[in-house]
Amino acid sequence: MSQLYAGLPSFDAMLLRTLQYAVPVPERDEWLRVWQSEIWHLKHRRTPRPRTTSTLAAGLIRDALWLRTEAWKRALAGTATLCLAILALLCVAFATVALVLTGSHQEVMLQFGNAYRRFLGEAVIVTLVTFATSFRRHVHHASATLPPLRRQLFFILKSALVLQLAFLISADVCQPLHAAFPLAHDILQTLVAMVLSITGLRWGFHDQETRCKHCLTALQSPARIGRPSHNLLEWNGTEQVCRHGHGRLNLPEMETSWCRSGQWLDRRTANHQAA
Amino acid sequence: MSTRLSHSAALILKALSLGFCFGFDVMEMTGLPSGTVYPALRRLERDGLVTSHWEPEQESTRNGRPARRYYQVTPEGTSAALAATERYPLLARLLPENQV
């Protein structure tokens, strides 16, 4: 590794040594090689304008950070962790708005305490109704290897965050009415919270269905399969795949008596069918 | 479907298609700062509009300098550069073909 810094001025070598830790390990050697070369050429090239390391410093820093953020994006895109983190962040953001609108923590408790207790009761009913009326159509053809507990835990956490978010948004949206029209405020907030809860929970069900049954990553690369004119002979619809190759989800465009539901095919089942 | 490029990305792609193959050369040619050029090159490479490869070691050793990383425009990049030239007519004036 020290060979990489050979021939570089001490400041440049220190910059590279420090910033290399921002670069993901698999790409670090390549990144060091690129920048060692770029700095060397900067120092040894005759240009009309004098060039110093500061010319490249911004590029060096942003390049390292770009590689790091890309690695995070690749690792986190569509994962259950990212979904929960975004919902939690939104909750924090809307809670902060509520705090700013009311002025203090005590005022938040005073204004929204009763409404929140009422909402908890409503949330149970809304959840039960949404669960009972949700259009769940995907059938697991093969036994999923992910323990069902993890899937259910993710769903419970997601639903809890969605309900919190629905309450916080309704509180923020209706807060300006609180002082002038307390009764209208209560009714409106309840209605807004209910509508948002139902919408959010329905999204939660849909999101759960379009995730890999093994790793809970959002399925991607939707592709149209079949033709609508062949509907009586074979299924047509959309196919989505897990980016980790765990399986695929076939969603028929049209419900038929022989193809009523979507099908989750894990890799083994899919391979077996193909053979 | 052609990729929609930002003005900076289009400028960089244009410089690469004119034969300026190294990050530092692209900076010199376009006048863009390094903080714009290098991340843009990464993005273009990720999107398949450019590819990169290392200069052969023999060549760099013969010239007594470290090997450099070449960037090359892919066929997709060429069509994106053409579309960008139509979208940003000033590109052709900023980097005229006869400047090479």
- Asked if residue A53 and residue A155 are part of one domain, the reply reads no
A59 chain-B contacts, CB cut-off 8 A: 23, 27, 33-39
Residue A57 contacts B, CB cutoff 8 Å: yes
For B27-36, what is the mean pLDDT? 88
Residue A35 reports pLDDT greater than 70: yes
Domain assignment present for residue A68? The answer is yes
Q: Which of A15, A40, A62 is the best substitution to test chain B (most B C-beta atoms within 10 A)?
A: A62
Residue A265: pLDDT over 60: yes
Instruction: Please determine, for residue A224, whether its predicted confidence score (pLDDT) is greater than 80.
Output: yes
Chain A residues with CB under 8 Å of B29 CB are: none
Question: Which of the two residues, A65 and A140, has the higher pLDDT score?
Answer: A65
A274 assigned to some structural domain: no
Query: A71 and A99: one domain?
Result: no
How far apart CA A195 and CA A203 sit, in angstroms, is 12
For residue B57, pLDDT over 90 is answered with: no
**Whether pLDDT at A164 is above 90:** yes
Q: pLDDT tens across A93-148, in order? A: 999 998 888 888 888 887 788 888 888 888 888 888 888 887 655 555 555 555 67
- Tell me, yes or no, whether A84 lies in a domain: yes
The residue with tokens 């892919």 is B74
Asked if A165 and A90 touch (Cβ cutoff 8 Å), the reply is yes
A219 in a structural domain: no
Are A116 and A98 in a shared domain? yes
Of the listed ranges A68-77, B63-72, B88-97, the one predicted with least confidence: B88-97
Answer whether A62 sits within 8 Å of B39, measured CB to CB. yes
Same domain, A60 and A107: no
Tokens of residue A29, six digits: 């050697």
Task: Check residue B100 and give its pLDDT.
Answer: 47
Confidence class for position A47, pLDDT limits 50, 70, 90: low
pLDDT bin (cut points 50, 70, 90) of residue A14 is confident
Give A-chain residues touching B42 at CB under 8 angstroms.
63, 66-67, 70
Q: Which of B34, B43, B66 sits opposite A37 (nearest CB)?
A: B66
Domain count for chain A, please give it: 2
Domain match, A105 and A183 both: yes
The mean per-residue pLDDT over the stretch A56-67 comes to 89
What's the pLDDT at A12? 77
Contact flag A63-B67 (C-beta cutoff 8 Å): no
Q: How close A69 comes to chain B (CA, Å)?
A: 11
**Domain identity same for A118 and A177:** yes
Domain assignment of residue A164, given as a range: 80-209
Are A89 and A65 part of one and the same domain? no
CB-based contact, A29 to chain B, within 8 Å: no
Chain A nearest CA to B21, separation (Å) = 12
Mean pLDDT of A39-64: 76
Distance of CA A203 to the CA centre of its chain: 13
Q: What is the DSSP string of A67-94?
A: HHHHHHHHHHTT-HHHHHHHHHHHHHHH
Work out the mean pLDDT of chain A and round it to a whole number: 83
Tell me what ipTM this predicted complex has.
Answer: 0.83
Residues A55 and A29 in one domain: yes
B85 confidence band (pLDDT: 50, 70, 90)? confident
Q: How far B64 CA lies from chain A's nearest CA (Å)?
A: 11
Q: Is residue A260 part of a domain?
A: no
Which residue among A41, A55, A67 sits closest to B68, beta carbon to beta carbon? A41
Looking at CATH, the fold of the domain delimited by B7-95 is given as Arc Repressor Mutant, subunit A (1.10.10)
For residues A125 and A143, membership in a common domain is answered with yes
Residues A96 and A36 in one domain: no
Q: Which pLDDT belongs to residue A225?
A: 82
Q: At what angle do helices A80-102 and A105-133 cross, to 10 degrees?
A: 140
pLDDT recorded at residue B55: 86
Please state whether beta strands A247-252 and A237-241 pair in parallel, antiparallel, or not at all (unpaired).
antiparallel
Give me the pLDDT at residue A56, please.
81
Q: Are residues A95 and A15 in the same domain?
A: no
pLDDT score recorded for residue A1: 47
Q: Does residue A240 lie within any of the structural domains? A: no
Decide if A160 is inside a domain. Answer: yes
Does residue A123 fall inside a structural domain?
yes
Q: What is the mean pLDDT of residues A194-207?
A: 92
Q: Which of A180, A209, A238 is the last residue of a domain?
A: A209
Q: How confident is the model at residue A4 (pLDDT cuts 50, 70, 90)?
A: low
pLDDT above 90 for B42? yes
